[in-house]
């Protein structure tokens, strides 16, 4: 049995009266892609700063590959790669020089990093621009360069803090491809606001809010947590929507009725309610009935609420 890659136990971080992390427990298995989701201010960045040894916790423990973040900071930083929210590229150094500086900060000799940097620039599609300055790069290229920088020293754990924020769909998908290509060779810890990204990339996902872990599992496991409720979208003929929305709303097994024109969306307590609905709608001019798949976003909103965070 392999050692978990990342473990936190009762991890707590307070800033005065504010508790950013509250007895946070987490286990991430080696070689997996783990996604951490949460609204703004949920504590994601605090957690990632503690795990990358940039910050000390108030209490509790955190370990990376079995090493304690408080007592083995230097050893941990040798084995992690970090892609922070900000690009943090040195605009006065060329793309290649950025990677070389990072390699030297990791104590690598030129003979060790030269070939590695060649390979990474090739892999990230930046070989032709290696002597250019990052300021002249597109957002997607800068992001790829930051990822390349985080990989120079061949880390065992890669932290990606909102790696695709601000990128266009094409660049985002390109980054996803690079991340997928790394799967299995290292543990990847990803935070993101894009639920589709987490759904596409992650083996396991955790949702946190107010500094606490509120759910974790695979995408399917999280979707299954939304009780047995099913959502149907029913499109009626012109002018019929309002009447049938009222009828459905009055039924005991329906909840959360919403209407947009002739389209009525109804959440049923359980699938057995379908026959009751069919009976109630007998004779109605129905154009279409469809079962609406629950998405990760539904799970996220149901767990963290719809209120916009500051």
Shortest Cβ 53–another protein spacing (Å) = 8
DSSP assignment letter at 235: E
Distances (CA, A) of 25 to 8, 21, 122: 5, 10, 39
Residue placing its CB nearer to another protein in the complex, 56 or 181: 56
Q: Within 10 Å of residue 281's Cβ, how many Cβ atoms?
A: 16
Shortest Cβ 275–another protein spacing (Å) = 58
Residue placing its CB nearer to another protein in the complex, 29 or 97: 97
Shortest Cβ 79–another protein spacing (Å) = 9
Give the residues lining the site for another protein (CB under 8 A): 52-56, 74-75, 77-78, 80, 82, 84, 86-93, 97, 101-102, 104-107, 149
Q: How far is CA 225 from the centre of its chain?
A: 18
Q: Within 10 Å of residue 105's Cβ, how many Cβ atoms?
A: 11
Residue placing its CB nearer to another protein in the complex, 58 or 218: 58
Q: Identify which of 81, 46, 65 has the alpha carbon closest to the alpha carbon of residue 3.
A: 65
Give yes or no for a contact between 89 and 126, defined as CB atoms under 8 angstroms apart. no
Shortest Cβ 208–another protein spacing (Å) = 22
Residue placing its CB nearer to another protein in the complex, 23 or 72: 72
Shortest Cβ 74–another protein spacing (Å) = 5
The HSE-up count of residue 165 (CA atoms within 13 Å, CB side) is 13
DSSP assignment letter at 129: G
Residue placing its CB nearer to another protein in the complex, 80 or 205: 80
Please report which helix (H) or strand (E) contains residue 291, including its range: strand 286-292
């Amino acid at each position: 049995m392999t050692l978990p890659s990342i473990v936190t136990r009762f991890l707590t971080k307070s800033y005065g009266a504010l508790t950013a992390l509250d007895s946070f427990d987490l286990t991430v298995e080696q070689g997996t892609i783990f996604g951490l989701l949460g609204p703004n201010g949920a504590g994601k960045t605090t957690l990632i700063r503690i795990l990358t040894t940039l910050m000390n916790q108030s209490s509790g423990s955190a370990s990376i590959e079995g090493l304690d973040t408080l007592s083995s900071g230097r050893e941990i930083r040798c084995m992690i790669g970090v892609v922070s929210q900000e690009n943090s590229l040195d605009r006065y150094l060329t793309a290649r020089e950025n990677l070389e500086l990072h390699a030297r900060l990791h104590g690598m000799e030129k003979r060790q990093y030269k070939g590695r940097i060649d390979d990474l620039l090739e892999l990230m599609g930046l070989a032709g621009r290696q002597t250019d300055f990052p300021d002249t790069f597109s957002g997607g290229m800068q992001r790829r360069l930051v990822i390349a920088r985080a990989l120079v020293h061949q880390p065992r754990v890669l932290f990606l803090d909102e790696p695709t924020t601000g990128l266009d769909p094409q660049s985002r998908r390109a980054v996803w491809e690079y991340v997928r290509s790394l799967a299995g060779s290292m543990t990847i810890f990803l935070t993101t606001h894009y639920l589709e990204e987490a759904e596409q990339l992650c083996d396991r996902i955790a949702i946190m809010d107010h500094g606490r872990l509120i759910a974790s599992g695979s995408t399917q496991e999280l979707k299954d947590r939304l009780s047995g409720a099913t959502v149907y979208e029913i499109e009626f003929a012109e002018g019929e929507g309002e009447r049938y929305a009222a009828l459905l709303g009055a039924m005991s097994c329906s909840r959360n009725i919403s209407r947009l024109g002739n389209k009525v969306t109804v959440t049923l307590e359980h699938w057995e309610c379908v026959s009751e609905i069919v009976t109630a709608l007998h004779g109605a001019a129905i154009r279409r009935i469809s079962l609406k798949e629950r998405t990760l976003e539904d799970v996220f909103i149901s767990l963290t609420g719809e209120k916009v965070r500051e």
